[in-house]
Every structure is written in C-alpha cells, then in structure tokens.
Chains A and B, each alone.
Chain A
C-alpha cells in the first residue's frame, strides 16, 4: 500500500502565498464600493429613499435641481457614514462637501455633491476571513444619480440610442463610497473583500447592500506588474453586479492586460465595462483627469464636525461584527472560523440561534450543521426543540439518518417534540434491547456469516449488519449494531 503525502493543512491558508502569478505577472487590485445608505429620506431632501417605486414619484425641488432649492443634510445619513467608518477602523475627521461638475442628465443640477480632499473617514482597514489585511484609504459621502434608460440602439447602451428616459427616484439617495488601498492580490481576495464588506454593512444596518438591486456597487481598479516593480497602468472595471462577477471580471482583465504587454502593447488608463454575457470587459471611455470635474467647495453646505461624544455614541450602537461573531461561533462549535458552515450561518445572522441551541443544552456542532443545511429560509423552529434533537443524536438514540428525518419534520411543522416525532416514526423502538433481539435474529438467520465473523473474518460483519438494516428498514445505528455483534462474539 502506498501512502500519499498530504500537504500540511496550513499551506492552504498561508496568507503570504496568496498571490496570483500568471506568466510572471502579479495582480494588483483596489476596489471602490458604493453603498446606498438605509435612510428613510434622501441625502439633502425629504423625499423617500425607497427602491422600486413608480418612476419619478420620489422627487422634490432639491432632487430636480430647481432654481433656488437648497440642500439640507440628513443626520441619519451622516450617522450611517460615521458608523461605516468606525466599522472599517477609520479615523473619523471633520469634513466638507464639494461640487463635482459635469453635464449629464442623471444629475439635473449639473453637479454631484461629494466629498473630495477632506473626506469623513480615512485610513482604515478590513480584515479578510483568512487574516489578510486590506487597507481602506477613505470612505466618503456623496449623493447617488438618477437612473437613465437608453431607448433605441442596441442592448440599452448609450451608443446609438435615439433618446434617453430619466427617473430621478434614486437621484440624491445618500451613498458612501468606500475606497480600498491597492492591497488585493488575487481575485479570490477581491471576492472575499466584497463579501466581508457586505456582511459588515448589513450587520451595522448602514445599508441593505443588495448587489442585485444596485444598493451595493463595485468598481475594480485592476493592474498587473512583475513582482517588486512599481504599479502598472490601471483600468477601472464597472458594471460588476455580483460577487461572482467580481472574480470573473478581474480574472479576465488581468489576462487581457498581460496579453497586451506580452504582445508589445501598453495598457491605456481607461474605464471599462464588464459584460456578464460575453465574459469580457469593453472600453467605455478614457479616464478624465480629476480636475476636469472642476471640484470646488459646496457653498450651500457647512462642514460636518462630529464631536467626540457623538462619535462615541455611534460607536456604541455598532453591534458585534461578523468576524468576531464567527470567532465566537467557532469557539462554541469547535468548527473552523473560516469554514463554510460558520461563514454561511453567520452571514445569515443565524449564529445567535446556534448559540441559543447550545445554551439550552443542545450540541452546538450538530446545530451548526442542521442550521446551515436546513434553515436557509430562517429558523422557525424553537431553539429548545432543535436542542432536544441534537442531544438525541449525540447520545446515540437516533442515527444520523433518523435525525435528518426528524429535522425535516421539525422544519415542516415549525418545531415540535423531537422525541415524540422519533417515537411516531418508530425510531424509539430501536432502544438497545430491541436492537439486540434483531441482531440475534440476524445471527440465527445466517449462521455461516456468524461463524466466519467469529473466526476473525471482518468482511462477514457486512452481511450481518445488512440483515439488521433490512429488518429495521435502515433505522438501526450501524455503530450500535457492530458493537452488539462484537459483545456477542467476545462473550
């Protein structure tokens, strides 16, 4: 028999090795993530901030940029923005707003109110579940734009369209733009970053962060370089609408840039559009210089100078963040904090439930697996009921298969008495004395197999266990059957 050498467990999680090298090039990615804040109203006016309403029903003079309309800052938006900064370990500083001037009908004022050189949150970081630290350069406030629909032409794109239709419901919705440092080295890290950021934003209640509804939008700045060399020219990839396409778009763009360089061309700094259907990025426009936006301080708004007390008050409103919750759940269940079960259950916010099951005397490890497998739609089963089931299983009174059957009943009925369900299914009959008599029957039914087994032929045990399983319709616990056989033989 040949022993296969297994790579040491740690190798797969070694952060320093987590660099994608393709054809000798290293990937360098920074992400800009826009999130819509979970406020009732817009950033500078009192129209509802609500997704999915009839077009142009959430509009007011400020939203439409009507002459004389003046913006008034939404306090809840500022609090969410500070909350995001604190959750990302940023320094929260006094900040001001600027006007970013450009002519585009999705902002009828002809400028976007944003934060420029004095943003609210700076110099933070986010820890990926694998321990890699991604720097946060800034997290600043700005207003969202309206939604344009291009009519005519092909595929709803601007190019070749006959005219455009504008819905200003989204115009003026408060956003925070979170800009990472170019610390990301693999597309997997980029996916982890977006996923972790999403979970943090949801946990602190700052945004519902739904990529599919556009309340969380990711732009990726991608470049490649030979390790140790200065950063290469970057391209900004837009229209990345799911965590999966974050990875796909970055992998494609990395390949494209390497092919350009290897073919003797250079990468041109530009904005590119990710096309989910053909799996490619396409040129959108060459990047305008920052000063082409003619930024200047917004005269209609005064500085935000959060007091230390206010910041502390907001800090106290921040719940335990996903990373700490995963670590705690890991301690209680004995499962790895970066493992799938803990990630999934914590992301669903069901970690509290698993802890409650454990607190009520249930087995935390089993509860974690049950919740991950069967509670995708939320735990409607009282924690006490699940606690009983996990105990029945770990105490050996139910086999894994039987426990699964009982679990399905609990889920279907939003709870119930696991012992009673097990009894009703006839699982209860499988107590040890009942099982012993079934085993004895199997022995007398197949004396040849029994003799072989007694003479040390381990393979013969299969035939005997098989008979017991058949007689009990698979409800017997295989381990218990083997144990009874052993005790009969050794008696």
Chain B
C-alpha cells in the first residue's frame, strides 16, 4: 500500500492485484481502476474516523456459529457424466494444460 498522506492506492497496487487475479488490463484501465478503487477505499476510510476500540471485530455478518453436518456419506456425481462436461479428459481424469509452476 502507498505511503500515508498520499493516495490510498498506487497504480503499482492495481497492477499487482491484477496479476494475482490473472487479469490482463491495459494502461488506460490501470489508471481508471486506480481512481475507482481508490474512491472505494476512501469511502471505507470514513470508518477509520470512528472510535471502535470497544467493538469486537465482526467475523461473519450472520449471528450464527457451529453450523455442521453429520459425517455421513451421500451418493457422488457420476464420473462419466462429469468428465463428459469437461473440456478434456483422459484415463478417468480431467486433462488440463501444462502448469507453469506450483502456486
């Protein structure tokens, strides 16, 4: 992130995030998104002006916890059907292009 006192978002941040998301964006788009995303961050900055020292961080918008299911096996999808819907398959497995390297 950029230095305090300057814009909340630098163009290099946008380029970095686009790379992580595997998005090819043009120089024009970098400029536009930097402005737009910066505007959004500016909006959230309003929250920074509030005193939230006594407010617990919210981990989920719903007042729920411990939603779980029993450990019981249910029928699976049919392999033939699923593989038929994929772009390519081989030996009962999904066939994908070579990977550039581990993530």
A residues lining the B interface (CB < 8 Å):
39-41, 46-48, 54-61, 64, 72-78, 94, 96, 101-105, 118, 148-152, 158-159, 161-168, 271, 284-285, 292, 294, 297, 299, 301-306
Contacts and interface: CB of A to CB of B under 8 A. Distances in A.
Nearest to A39: B71
Contacts of A47: 73-74, 76
B22 interface: yes
B69 to A, nearest CB: 5
Interface stretch (B3-11, B27-35, B39-47, B85-93): B85-93
A40 B70 CA distance: 10
B66 to A, nearest CB: 6
Contacts of A56: 79, 82-83, 92-94
Main secondary structure, interface of A, reads loop
Main secondary structure, interface of B, reads loop
A41 B103 contact: no
A302 B65 CA distance: 5
A64 B82 contact: yes
B20 interface: yes
A302 B92 contact: no
Contact of B101 (A285, A294, A297, A301): A285
Given A41-B73, A302-B60, A303-B59, A158 B79 contact: no
B64 interface: yes
B69 A104 contact: no
Closest 9 CB pairs of A and B: A76-B71, A46-B74, A104-B103, A102-B103, A165-B93, A75-B68, A305-B65, A166-B94, A55-B92
A301 B69 CA distance: 12
Most buried by A among B17, B65, B66, B74: B66
B55 to A, nearest CB: 16
B99 to A, nearest CB: 5
A163 B87 CA distance: 13
B68 A59 contact: no
- Is the interface on chain B under 10, 10 to 19, 20 to 34, or 35 or more residues? 35 or more
B96 interface: yes
A167 B101 contact: no
A163 B67 contact: no
A170 B95 CA distance: 17
Contacts, number: 136
A162 B98 contact: yes
A165 B91 contact: yes
A96 B72 contact: no
A242 to B, nearest CB: 22
Nearest to A307: B66
B92 to A, nearest CB: 4
Nearest to B64: A302
A148 B98 CA distance: 11
Interface of B: 17, 20, 22, 59-62, 64-74, 76-77, 79, 82-83, 90-99, 101-103
A150 B31 CA distance: 40
A305 B83 CA distance: 39
Contacts of B60: 96, 297, 299, 302-303
A282 to B, nearest CB: 13
Contact of B99 (A48, A78, A104, A271): A104
A163 B79 contact: no
Contacts of A292: 20
Given A61-B77, A104-B102, A74 B94 contact: no
Contact of A285 (B20, B64, B90, B102): B102
Nearest to A168: B94
B67 A164 contact: no
11 contacts: A40-B71, A40-B72, A41-B74, A46-B69, A55-B92, A57-B76, A73-B67, A75-B70, A162-B98, A165-B94, A305-B65
Given A103-B103, A294-B20, 17 more contacts: A39-B71, A40-B72, A41-B72, A46-B69, A56-B92, A60-B77, A61-B77, A74-B69, A74-B71, A75-B70, A164-B95, A285-B102, A292-B20, A299-B60, A302-B64, A302-B66, A304-B65
Given A40-B73, A60-B76, A105 B96 contact: yes
B97 A163 contact: yes
